[in-house]
Amino acid sequence: MVPDRSPFAKALRAGQTVWTAGVYDALSAKVAESAGFAAVMTSGYAVSASLLGEPDVEIYTMTENLSVVQNVTAALKIPVIADTDTGYGNAINVMRTVREFERAGVSAVIFEDQEVPKRCPCVASVIEILPPEESAAKIRAAVYARQDPDLIIVARTDALTEEEAIVRAKMYVEAGADLIQPISRCFKDFAGLKRLREACGRPLSLQLLGWLETDLSPQQVQEVAGLAVHPLVGLLTAYRALQANFAHLAQHHQTAKLPQAVAQMDEFKDFIGFPEVEALQTAFMTGRPVVKA
């Protein structure tokens, strides 16, 4: 079913802030939705770690990323934003990426201006970015390829100086980007983010990492951002909880006194949907009429 992207797109383009959880599979996405988030973002960093057990250096392919996103969109009723990395090639590759992820039901895609394969700016000592004209052409290609004008195109720049980030942001907006996403290493304070927001004339997409996560208040985020994403809280929470409990199990071979509390089986069965499936099974096997929810 094709999602109605218009309410989400209208909110973002108007500068309303949509607080978003970073997720990496259908289960983490369902937990975020049930917690009350208005949208989720499939984090490339988290997908690479959870799917392949590899760092975020664009080792996974477009189709591997797409398979995760398809599972997430199928499981949720809220908008899904897809981290689509560099678009997996040049402008022509970007066009295919847009078509595939749009068909998968996402409400927004994020493209960055690094060379292929990209390196995660959270950890990379060297970041190589494309010439601005080539990067702008990829954004134009993304805009050209989308069928629904309410599919939001987020242009991320990995420029490391404010001056270059602003130049690139203006070019990407001219190419048709709906939001601009800087990296945390570029700007050092809130005033810089405000200058970027004013210069490009578009809401920002902020991945709340580093100083953006620790130093900005929610009110400051909402002043400049259309998208406010906590991309890695889910992944790092799961990692720490699994690490603690598995270490305990490996040593003690019993679940008594686990460091991290676990959900009760009945609670999780309800959450994941067993009662609904069992009701359908009973109805179909007894021949009773089934009414769609």
Give 140-165 pLDDT, tens digit per residue. Answer: 999 999 999 999 999 999 999 999 99
Measured CA to CA, the distance from residue 51 to residue 53 in angstroms comes to 6
Say if residues 222 and 228 touch (Cβ distance below 8 Å).
yes
Measured CA to CA, the distance from residue 193 to residue 223 in angstroms comes to 10
Helices and strands per DSSP (H, E), number in the chain: 13, 8
Give 240-285 pLDDT, tens digit per residue. Answer: 999 999 999 999 999 999 999 999 999 999 999 999 888 888 888 7
Helix (H, G, I), strand (E, B) or coil at 258: coil
Asked, as a colleague might, if the bond just before 117 is cis with ω within 30 of 0, I would say yes
Burial 75-108 (b: 16+ CB within 10 A, else e): bbebbbbbbbbbbbeebebbbebbebbbebbbbb
Q: Please, where are the H alpha helices in the chain? A: 6-13, 26-35, 44-47, 62-75, 91-103, 132-145, 162-175, 190-200, 211-215, 218-224, 233-252, 265-272, 274-286
Give 29-78 pLDDT, tens digit per residue. Answer: 999 999 999 999 999 999 999 999 999 888 999 999 999 999 999 999 99
**Whether residue 133 has pLDDT greater than 80:** yes
Measured CA to CA, the distance from residue 80 to residue 153 in angstroms comes to 13
Q: In the numeric block, which tokens belong to residue 5? A: 């992207």
pTM, whole model, 2 decimals?
0.94
pLDDT of residue 56: 87
All structural domains of the chain: 6-231 (3.20.20.60), 239-286 (no CATH)
Give 166-199 pLDDT, tens digit per residue. Answer: 999 999 999 999 999 999 889 999 999 999 999 9
Q: Nearest-CA neighbor of 183 among 223, 219, 218, 212? A: 212
Cα dihedral 140, 173, 44, 248 in deg (nearest 10): -170
pLDDT of residue 124: 61
